[in-house]
Amino acid sequence: MVSATCVYTTFLQVFGADGVNFSMHVENQTRARDAMSRRQPRVYQLYSRTSCKHVQVLGRKISARGEDGDIFAQLVVEADTFGSQVRIRGKETNYYLCMNRRGKLVGKASNRSQDCVFVEMVLENNYTALMSARYNGWYVGFTKRGRPRRGPHTLLNQQDVHFMKRSPPGEQPDHTPFRFTTVSKRSKRVRAARPR
């Protein structure tokens, strides 16, 4: 049996060592596929900061010209890993948002390719950016006219890659706070009647 002192000493040696890079560990865990967890799809719209419209998956064509509530602007977002990697599918067309090797945004019927995985990043200004998981530094972005930008021509600080997640009309998110419930069985003490 291993003593508690030995385990604690080993813990200090591993985590107290100089040069241990915890961010690398977190990054590796984020990239690892998580087949065990249940994927919970979410439905929302992506509002483009530059085009002032919503991202649409129109089959193979992708644009950011959708009005609020447009059926092609409703996106199903599935978590792909333990971290922030997601796959985005058009609810109406069942095509996935993907970025090919030239950095072009396209729709694909199958999501098996790594081209269809994006890293969801929440920025300091509360906007969301979507970076390609395969092509590091390439982001989903649109022009003012709602046309897709190629991945190599995008930067994280550009407004073209900033999006706001919005619930479709009539599907407001549930903000009910989680309530703990405790079940307790109280037993009443029955006092013996004293003779008078």
Q: Which domains does the chain have, with CATH numbers?
A: 30-166 (2.80.10.50)
The burial class, CB within 10 Å (0-12 / 13-18 / 19+), for 59 is middle
Average pLDDT over residues 56-81: 92
Is pTM beyond 0.85? Reply is no
Instruction: Give tens-digit pLDDT for 76-119.
Output: 998 866 668 999 999 999 999 999 999 999 999 988 888 999 99
Check if the beta carbon of residue 169 is closer than 8 Å to that of residue 163: no
Res. 131: pLDDT tops 50: yes
